[in-house]
A and B are shown apart, each in its own frame.
Chain A
Amino acid sequence: GESVGLHLPTLSVQEGDNSIINCAYSNSASDYFIWYKQESGKGPQFIIDIRSNMDKRQGQRVTVLLNKTVKHLSLQIAATQPGDSAVYFCAVDTGRRALTFGSGTRLQVQP
Chain B
Amino acid sequence: DGGITQSPKYLFRKEGQNVTLSCEQNLNHDAMYWYRQDPGQGLRLIYYSQIVNDFQKGDIAEGYSVSREKKESFPLTVTSAQKNPTAFYLCASSMTLRDRSTQYFGPGTRLTVL
Contact = CB atoms under 8 A, between A and B. Distances in A.
Contact of A44 (B41, B90, B100, B102): B90
Contacts of A101: 35, 42-44
A98 B48 contact: yes
A63 interface: no
A34 to B, nearest CB: 6
Given A4-B42, A89-B43, A99 B105 contact: no
A46 B58 contact: no
A76 to B, nearest CB: 21
A83 to B, nearest CB: 18
- Greatest chain B CB density within 10 A among A43, A44, A97 is at A43
Contacts of A34: 101
5 contacts: A32-B101, A46-B102, A46-B103, A98-B48, A101-B35
